Amino acid sequence: MRNPNKGLTLDDFSKLSDDRFKLDSRKIRKNIARLIEADGIMLPVDRLIRGYYLSEKPYIWINRLGIQKRADSLLVILENAGTCGVNTKILRVKQLKDDLYRMRTLQIDAESGDINMLMARLEYNLTKSYLRYSSILRFGISNPDYLYNNFEKLENDSVSERYRQLSDLKIERPNAEFIQQALAKALNDSINDFFVTLQPKSKLYRSLLNLLGQQNLKPAYRMKLLCNIERCRWRLTKFPDNEIERRIEANIPSYSVRAIDNGNVLYMRMACGALKHKTPLLASNVMRMDINPQWIVPKSIAKGFIHRPEYMHRMGMFVYDKKEGRLSPEQASYERMMNGEQYIIQSGGPKNSLGRIIFRFDNGFSVFLHDTSSPGVFKRAGRAVSHGCIRVEKPYELALFLMKDEDDELADKLKYSMTVNLFEDNDSIPNKNIDKKKMVRTLYVKPPVPIFITYYTIYYDESGHIVDYQDVYGYDAALEKQLKPFVE
């Protein structure tokens, strides 16, 4: 049989060429630049993606043979992003599916653009979707320090606006190092393993995701879940591990403190800042405990005591003058008080507003955990009543938790110091019968124990069940506005 292809030359094959399917790396680069120029920046990671491609770094998903198989692995993950509450629209899932189909079937037409535009769009959108989703799972969407420190106006005039500082969490944000790590995982075909490592490992986070997966959720409750899932994703620069085995959590909406040690939980009620004196969100380490502390009365409160010497005597208060030292309540001066030259100080003891013990940790708000002289507050349902500090229901038990391995003798001394009557008459005459050998004034926490002041409106109750709480400070509403474009 005669061979019909005998005598074919390269010229014969050139006739089969179709310009519609010619890949040109330079054209792809130019098209990516055009896409970047037309595209907006919704998330911090978008800016980093822009820098990557404008620096002409290697392609991740395409090559001269077409589309890498890793693109299909990524698409499967992106299609299921809704299970984590992320809107697939911002991940451009539909566009990616359509473009992958066109590329695989070579349906190049006016709608899709030429092949170099199609390849540019796939490369850019795959990277953008991959890094957006990775970033959301690893860092969350919002920055709480920016959000809450622009929440409540402190002062408003014709020149500037000032806001009350309500957060000092200092969370991690996506950076060039994270981008390099993520793209290295993609190039090594380790996408699935990478996504496993991104999400928080906390029990609360897993519980919230399980609740999110339930059918027929009311829109308002679903949004509340998404707000709290977002909070779980905030990773603190000071404490990257969001599930430290030994820690204290003071959660504002639940009005509760949980002291946790390897899964064992000491639970107690708390009272926190009133709406006008919101307790700030922060993370620190409890460094020491002061027993029978003095209270330096804030100016906003002290000015109401200046002309009430009888009350000040009864409550064990005195005046401290920077020039003259300790003075009697009758010598209080409004002018010197307002100028910071005098202070009203309340002596330590059972009538002290700080109670018998205070738990100190570094922070820029002068906020601490402490006992209270008014334990009846813990019987209230709403306990946002303080000037910012947190009053705890079980101060002695919390102190024992922080002491951990200290001996029983020291625990007995602590109990004695917290219950002995320091004064005989109106908190002014010292009790001469105090056993000074049993008295302790300061205990240092070694090693320091992390403390987190948090704001979860879906959180644990006393029995460890997940419960829905009131949005005490209105933070959910503010967070919801930032999340809406990104969640579903």
The pairing of beta strand 390-392 with beta strand 246-251: unpaired
Which pair of tokens denotes residue 2?
């005669």
Please calculate the CA angle 250-251-253 and round it to the nearest 5 degrees: 150
Read off the amino acid at residue 256. Answer: S
Question: Using CA atoms, how far apart are residues 105 and 116, in angstroms rounded to an integer?
Answer: 15
At 398, the amino acid letter reads L
Query: Active site includes 387?
Result: no
Catalytic pick from 84, 232, 272, 370? Answer: 370
Active-site residue flag, 389: yes
| 30: Cβ contacts below 8 Å, ≥ 6 apart | none
Q: Are 396 and 406 in contact (CB under 8 A)?
A: no
Q: Which of 476, 290, 480, 304 is nearest to 387 (CA)?
A: 304
The answer to whether 435 and 416 are in contact (CB under 8 A) is yes
Tell me which residue has tokens 């690893």: 138
* Parallel/antiparallel/unpaired status of strands 390-392 and 369-370: parallel
| Residues written for the chain | 488
Catalytic residue among 272, 387, 389, 465: 389
Neighbours of 313 (CB within 10 A): 17
Q: Which amino acid is at 273?
A: G
Active site residues: 370, 389
